[in-house]
Structure 1
């Protein structure tokens, strides 16, 4: 890649530089990671050998094994003492009926977010906290999610979701154009996330560099593609505007930056505990203003913040 292209790729506003990010690729031109994904999908789960239930001969049966032999009612059938075994990891306890005990709940360790006090010169919008004034979203089935499958056209290229565009921009900047183009081979948004992780690992991109891109560019990239998503799809735009001025909260336990860092139950309890209080969001969506975002449950909820800003812009432009 020449220097001019590299300089364009590092800028947020130069979105035209991403126009060549996803040209059509033939199967032969797709990178090896696609084969890896295909192998992951085709690998069947190991077949466990069915355990044979112990059978006990009835006392008083004849030596020929006659199935009509009678059982002596004064005798008790032979039984085996229950054997308790543990696997190599000492996690699953095998109980007499052959079923493993339920595993202990796993713990998710995520980054703890800090909040910087809002300066007086930063324009804000204030939202009251009540259970009726909140919309929760999570998962590819929800229209507010970045994983929601919908065709989005940006700079002449089609993307199958917000996640497709977001990961393509990440690879375009951190790796190269060909890696970004290869994401065409990944069908679903989940496949895109997996493929991106594989490529970044293969290219040995350090986590510090990925986090630097996230802090610098991710907010602008997401706002750009989310604005396109709701501007180009009337039905989705109508549903977004129908949320009024409600707080949009991304409930996902594994992310304290873009989400609340908690699931629906914990987050809804948090909302109930903070009823009749309010949260203040910077009016301008930018990387510099992320540090001022208030905590919703355990996270910054940056994706919800971006969606609320896009909602305001669409409402203003359509008035």
Structure 2
């Protein structure tokens, strides 16, 4: 005999005993309060299995335990033993067909999505194999995190919304200076190219998130280094990311462009293409620091400059027009 004991409800359930009939309407109590219709009852080695259709969503479900509503305790499926409800066989047949049609449509969409993703992965495999240096031992990536936490239940988690490839490394050492170097290759991470001790996270311990550069591990952009141990496996893991061209943000090798010197109202500035996605401003910026900050600039006292370090401001290249306008007004 197939029996199960529900500890919370203090009830023993005999799963070989049929408690509802085909076409009978039952309900879910707990998570939500949807109604279901039993369209089939099957016997297996573990007892009876009740095949259900959600009357609201037209989704299929299966359960082996349905309890009487008068003995309600906790989350589960319940039937009204005193006033049982039934649907007409024709109505159930219509609902069943609707559920089948919906499931078929969902399976078709899922298959189309699988085909699309595989096509993108095929492009990515080829692209990544071409750009991945033979001597690369790691890859620098940027990840956009979305906060999935619920402080009321002390649940803390995040999901990755996007990954971009910023560059490759010939070693596996975790260096924040290296991460900052590649941060400017992508507009979303350009601000991380500034030195900020608060952005440096060292969590290489049990249950930690490793080394990463960013404001928070739960939301916004972070930069981290991914070691490359198996080239083929690595290409396969990042094929989908590389298959989307906008996720390849590798700076082309080029000579450092000359600085643009601009002078207004006895103040002198140098505008430098700091990277492919970022530019820097050096010079007499103190009088206009509030305006620079309002345009999204981030001050860094130790920007790389002609082989040394110099204080300046970092901006996304998209801000060039606004900066020129601001400087011309001074």
TM-score by length of 2: 0.21
Decide which structure has greater strand share. Answer: 2
TM-score by length of 1: 0.22
Q: Select the structure of larger CA radius of gyration.
A: 2
Structure number with greater CO (CA < 8 Å, separation at least 6) is 1
Decide which structure has greater helix share. Answer: 1
